[in-house]
């Protein structure tokens, strides 16, 4: 697998996804908010919707790769299996079950793969091993919690040109998503020729508080990226990552875009996406009222490899025009109606996935946003999303692009 992502809109060649599995059935009215859901999806229907989504990508020539399939192959290797299980059990504060999971006596690679998504209850542990395990927290439902958000594969990792960045998730309930994706990137033969530029398992633990998630990263040009300072991504992380990218000589400007720390706007890509060079889709109520924007540039050579923060005096639209080096077409969610923009923001109207210039996968339910895109010449490939959207994510959220065709004019860096 050759990793290569140089912008947001060139033809998508390969993408990593996770098909929603039995972890969805772990959700109840009592725990759904803990696992960041507003409602309980119907498993068979959400799988059907996801299958139709991936079929649409295949029809467009995209190679769809499943995280769970790669993970199962990684778990065939005893060393990689033990390393991952130790990591997972340490995070879950259940180190005493490492030997049971790392060995192959109770769970083979296939069943362990499912367990790592679905989680493990005390009753299931006893039924499988014949030993009783009492959680440290009385009445705890799980020894290992499920990860029902795993089908939002955009957040755990991001490809940066021919490298990858492993995210640091904000909520503890999502940390294992990063652990599983990172295990694949570090251990699967398909990715042997690439490296993790940030967030690898060999990095110092003090990086942990510096949270960042893939949905906050938007590529602007060959020299610049946007990163949302959001509910999930910290400003300190943006500054640190900017310095690392400047040191690598790949990025000249990083823009920090502060968005409301609100579940309705959890990532930058829930209110802003790019569908072609010089054409963007946004939720105007937020994107036209940004309080300020910070720009990071390389610090002076005498100060080491760091980033210098500059308070940006241009407005957001002017920045876009300068970075695209052309006039910018702005498409508003809801077609410009404040009422329908608010409705379709809730169902991820702005979170579209460009699979080639002016060709985007969208939720059919966001009819007025789709109509507005089509009026601007965008081909919309509609998918159903009645169950998929219950986790508050759209087509872009559900994909981790691995490779896009490099066009003649492209020479860009991604950050996350």
Catalytic residue positions, numbered = 397
Alpha carbons 255 and 113: distance in angstroms, whole number: 38
Q: Which residues of 98-112 are buried (b: 16+ CB within 10 A; e: fewer)?
A: bebbbeeebbeeeeb
Q: From CA 37, how far away is CA 45, in angstroms rounded?
A: 16
Round to whole Å and give the CA distance between 357 and 275. 6
Q: Which two tokens stand for residue 176?
A: 């294992």
Within 126-216, strands assigned E span 157-160, 163-166, 196-198
Contacting residues for 377 by C-beta, under 8 A, at least 6 apart: 358
Distance CA 296, CA 305 (A): 13
**Whose structure tokens read 């390393």?**
83
In contact, 368 and 344? CB cutoff 8 Å: yes
Q: How far apart are CA 218 and CA 271, in angstroms?
A: 11
Beta bridge partners of 226: 218, 255
d(Cα 223, Cα 218) in Å, to the nearest integer?
A: 12
- Cα dihedral 354/262/175/240 (nearest 10): 80
267/228 Cα distance (integer angstroms):
7
Q: Which one, of 199, 244, 223, lies nearest residue 413 by Cα?
A: 223
């Amino acid at each position: 697998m050759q990793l290569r992502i140089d912008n947001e809109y060139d033809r998508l060649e390969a993408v990593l996804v996770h098909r929603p599995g039995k972890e969805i059935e772990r959700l109840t009215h009592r725990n759904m908010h803990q696992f960041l859901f507003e409602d309980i999806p119907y498993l068979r229907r959400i799988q059907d919707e996801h299958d139709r989504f991936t079929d649409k990508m295949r029809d467009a020539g995209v190679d769809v790769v499943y995280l769970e399939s790669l993970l199962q192959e990684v778990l065939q290797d005893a060393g990689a299996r033990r390393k991952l299980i130790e990591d997972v059990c340490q995070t879950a504060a259940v180190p005493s079950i490492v030997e049971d999971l790392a060995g192959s006596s109770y769970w083979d690679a296939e069943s362990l793969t499912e367990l790592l998504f679905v989680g493990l209850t005390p009753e299931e542990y006893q039924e499988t091993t014949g030993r009783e395990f009492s959680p440290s927290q009385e009445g705890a439902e799980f020894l290992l919690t499920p990860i029902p958000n795993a089908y939002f594969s955009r957040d755990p990792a991001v490809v940066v040109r021919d490298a990858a960045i492993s995210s640091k998730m904000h909520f503890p309930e999502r940390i294992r998503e990063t652990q599983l994706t990172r295990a694949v990137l570090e251990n699967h033969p398909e990715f042997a020729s690439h490296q993790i530029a940030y967030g690898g398992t060999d990095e110092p633990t003090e990086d942990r508080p510096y949270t960042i998630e893939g949905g906050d990263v938007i590529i602007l040009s060959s020299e610049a990226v946007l990163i949302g300072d959001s509910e999930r991504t910290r400003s300190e992380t943006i500054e640190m990552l900017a310095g690392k990218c400047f040191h690598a000589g790949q990025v000249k400007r990083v823009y920090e875009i502060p968005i409301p720390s609100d579940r309705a706007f959890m990532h930058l890509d829930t209110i802003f996406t790019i569908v072609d060079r010089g054409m963007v889709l946004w939720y105007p109520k937020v994107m036209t009222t940004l309080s300020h924007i910070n720009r990071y540039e390389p610090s002076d050579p005498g100060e080491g490899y760091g980033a210098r923060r500059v308070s940006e005096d241009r407005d957001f639209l002017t920045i876009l025009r300068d970075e695209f080096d052309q006039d910018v077409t702005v498409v508003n969610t809801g077609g410009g109606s404040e009422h329908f923009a608010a409705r379709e923001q809730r169902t991820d109207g702005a979170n579209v996935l460009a699979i080639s210039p002016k060709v985007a996968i969208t939720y059919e339910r966001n009819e007025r946003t789709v109509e507005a895109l089509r009026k601007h010449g965008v081909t919309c490939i509609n998918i159903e999303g009645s169950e998929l959207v219950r986790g508050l994510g759209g087509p872009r959220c559900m994909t981790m692009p691995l490779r896009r065709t490099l066009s003649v004019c492209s020479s860009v860096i991604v950050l996350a």
